Chain A
Amino acid sequence: MATVETREIRKHFGDVHAVDGVDLSTKEGEFLVLLGPSGCGKTTLLRMVAGLERPTAGEILIGGQVVNELPPRARGVAMVFQSYALYPHMSVFNNIAFPLRAQGLPRASIQRKVEWAASLFGIEALLHRKPRELSGGERQRVALARAVVREPRVFLLDEPLSNLDAKLRASARDELQQFQRRIGTTTIYVTHDQIEAMGLGDRIAVMQGGRVRQIGTPSEVYDEPADTFVAGFLGSPPMNLVEAADALVGFRPEHFLPRGAHGDAPDLVALPFRVTRVEYLGADRLLYGVLEGRFEGARVVARLPSTLSVAVAAGATHDFAVRGRDLRFFDRRTGLRTAPRGL
C-alpha cells in the first residue's frame, strides 16, 4: 500500500492544457474519485500516475518516491480500463496470469494466485474461456482480477462501470466498494458520473479545465461547494443560482419547498414561485418555473419528494421558501464561495 501525490502537475498537448497544475494527495488506503465532465483532464491525470503519459511539468510521487522517470511496470500500479482491455487472444486464466508471468513468478505460484484472484470475483468457472465469450459484467470482473492479482500498491480505475447496463452498474458499484474496503489498497477512480462518485468515494476531487476545483468528502462537495462550477456540476438537477445585488445566491432544488412543508423553521426566506411545468418522476416531482418578487424572472427548479402531497399546478404562483442556512453565496465575478450574508 502507498499514497499517491501530485505536485503542480501539468500536461500540455500543444496549446491544449489538459492538466494544468494539479496538487493532489491521497491518504493511505483511500478511495479517491476524480470527477468531472468530458475533457476536464481526469483521465490524462490518471494516465500520468500510471506512467502512460509523461507530464509536461510537475512531480508524481507514489509511496513518497518520485516516479516521473519510472516506466509503468516499475510503479507498482494496476489499472482497469474503460474498455477493460482484456487480451482477446488469451483465455481468462492467461489474462489474469499475464502480469505474474511478466514478474517471472514460478508456475505453481502463478496457478495459486490466479485461482485466488478468480475466487475474489467469483469467476473460477470462466478461467478457460476467451474474453469474447464473456458478458460485460464478467469481463469487468476479469479486468479487476487481472489488476488485483499482483497485489499492486495503487489501483487506478478509468470509468470501469460505464460499459455496464444501469442495473448491473448498481450492483457492481456495491461490489467494488466492498472489495476495496476488504483489500484496503489506495484507489484512484475516474468517472464523469456523479452518482458513482458520491456512492464510492471517500473523497471526491471535482475537476474542470485541467484543474481541481474542490476536493472533499461527498457531503462536503455537495453541501459546501467551493464555487459555482462545483455547485452546478453536482446534483441533478443542479443547484439553483440566482443573482442578488453583488453576489450569486445558490440553493438546492430539494431545499426549495412550499412554505408549509418547512413547518415552523425560524430562518425561512420566502420566494414566490410561478410554476411553469411539472415533471412527475415517481419518487419526486420536479417543478420548473420562475421566481417572482425579489428575484423577479430568475429560472429555478424545485424538487418535491413524493411524500409531500401538496397540490402544485402549472401556471399558478405558489408560496415557496428556503431555510436561510441552506443558502450558499458566491462571488459574482470569480464564482468563488463567499461568506453568508443577509438577503
Chain B
Amino acid sequence: MRGRGRRGPLAAGGRGGLGFLLDRPEWLGPLMIGPAVLYIVLVVGVPFVLALYYSVSDISMGSRTLGFVGLRNFASVVQTTKFQTSLRNTFVFAVASQVLVMVLGTGLALALMRDFRGKWLVRLLILLPWVAPISLGTIGWLWILDSTYSVVNWTLEALGLIGPDGWFMWLGVPHLAMGSVIAVHVWRILPLATVILLAGLTSIPQDIHDAAQVDGAGAWRHLFQVTLPLIRPIMLVAGLFGLVFAFTDMVVIFVLTRGGPYDTTQVLASLAFFTGIQGGDLAEGAAVALFLFPLLAAVAVVFLRVARRTEVV
C-alpha cells in the first residue's frame, strides 16, 4: 500500500524526484524560500531580538548575570554629550550625503542617458565603487586623505593653490573630517543611486520627451516639469534606501576616523559599536543602536508604500 502511494505521482508526472517537486507548488514554494528565511532569521532576526533584550537589561561583557532594568539604559545614554553629538552627527551625515547623492546621481543618470563615445567605459567607471569591496576602497581613501601623503594636498600644491605649509589635515580637523567622510560615503552610494535613477529615466517613453520638445519646453522646463516629476517615485525609493543605509552604516567612519577627532564624526552606529563591542557595555551599546529604530522603521514603511507605485506611466 505504501509502495503504491509513493509510486503514484512519479508514474503520473513521468519524472524523477525533482520533477515531483516542480509539479507541487505547495512544496516547491516553501522549499525555495526556506533557505532565505532561515538565513534572515539566524543572521538578522536572532541578533535583533537579542539586541532588543540587551537594551533593557544590565548585561555587560565579563558579567554572568542578566537582569531586567527597563528603559534605564536609554535614559542614561541620552543624557551623555557623546550621545547627543553622535545623534546630531548622524543626521548631518545621513541627510547631507543623501542630498548630495540625489543631486549628483540625477545629474549623472541624465548624462548617461545621452549617446556618446565611450559611454560603456564611463558607466563601468561609475559602477566600480559599488562592486569594489568597501573596506578596500575606503582604505584607498585613507591614503588619499592622509595628512602626510595626501594626493589631494599634493595636487593642490602642484597647482599652486596651497603652499607647503598649508596642507589640509583632512581627517584631523572637525569640519574637514565630517566633509571627508560624507564625500567618501557619497562616492560609495552614488553608483547604486545612479543606476536606480537611470532605470527610472529609461522607463519614460521617448514620445513624452519628443512631445515636450515640440510643445516648446526649454531644457529647464523639460527637466523640472516633465522628466523629474516622472521619476519622482523612483527618486523617492533611491533616496529612502540611501537614507536608511546612511543612518545604519559605519564602515566609512570606522575605517577613516573611528569617530574622531573628538567625536566630531561619531555617529550612532559607530558609537554603538565602540560602546557595546569595544567598551564591553553590551546593554548601553544595544540601547544606542536601537535608538533610531522606530524612526527607521517608519522610513521603511514609507519606502515600501512608495515602492509599490513606482510605475512611471
A197 on interface, CB distance cutoff 8 Å: no
Binds A, one of B97-105, B205-213, B279-287: B205-213
**Minimum CB–CB distance for A67 against chain B, Å:** 13
Contact indicator per residue, chain B 217-241, by CB within 8 Å of chain A (1) or not (0): 1100100011001101000000000
Q: Which of A52, A78, A79, A87 contacts B226 (CB 8 A)?
A: A87
Check A81 for interface membership: any CB of B closer than 8 A.
yes
A50-92 CB contact bits vs B (8 Å, 1 = yes)? Answer: 1110000000000000000001110001110111011111000
Chain B contacts for A101, CB-based, 8 A? 221
Query: Is B205 within 8 A of A98, CB to CB?
Result: no
Residues of B near A156 (CB, < 8 A) are: 214
Q: Tell me the smallest distance from the CB of A137 to a CB of chain B, in Å.
A: 18
Are A79 and B211 touching (Cβ within 8 A)? yes
A79 to B313, CA, bound (A): 20
Q: Are A102 and B217 in contact (CB under 8 A)?
A: yes
Task: Name A71's closest neighbour in chain B (CB-CB).
Answer: B213
Interface residues of B in 189-223 (CB under 8 A from A): 205, 207-208, 210-218, 221
A89 touches B230 (CB 8 A): yes
A103 contacts the other chain (Cβ, under 8 Å)?
A: yes
Output the least CB separation between A87 and chain B (Å). 6
Q: Does A99 contact B (CB under 8 A)?
A: yes
Assess A88 versus B213: contact at CB under 8 Å? Given A81-B207, A83-B205, A83-B207.
no
A99 to B229, CA, bound (A): 17
B-contacting residues, A122-143, CB 8 Å: 132
A203 at the interface (CB under 8 A from B): no
Which residue of the partner chain A has the closest CB to B205? A83
Bound: A293/B21 CA distance, A: 69
- Smallest Cβ-Cβ distance to A52: which chain B residue: B210
* CA distance in complex: A37, B17 (Å): 53
With a cutoff of 8 Å between Cβ atoms, the chain B residues found around residue A274 in the complex are none
How far, in whole Å, are A82 and B211 apart by their CA atoms in the complex? Answer: 11
A146 interface contact, C-beta 8 A: yes
Establish whether residues A89 and B211, one from each chain, have CB atoms under 8 Å apart when the complex forms.
no
User: In the complex, what's the smallest C-beta–C-beta distance from A159 to chain B, in angstroms?
Assistant: 12
In the assembled complex, which residues on chain A have CB atoms less than 8 Å from the CB atom of B210? 47, 50, 52, 79, 81, 85
In the A-B complex, the 3 residue pairs with the smallest Cβ-Cβ separation, listed nearest first, are: A85-B207, A73-B216, A102-B216
10 A-B pairs whose Cβ atoms sit less than 8 Å apart in the complex = A71-B213, A72-B216, A73-B213, A79-B211, A82-B207, A85-B210, A98-B225, A102-B218, A102-B221, A132-B313
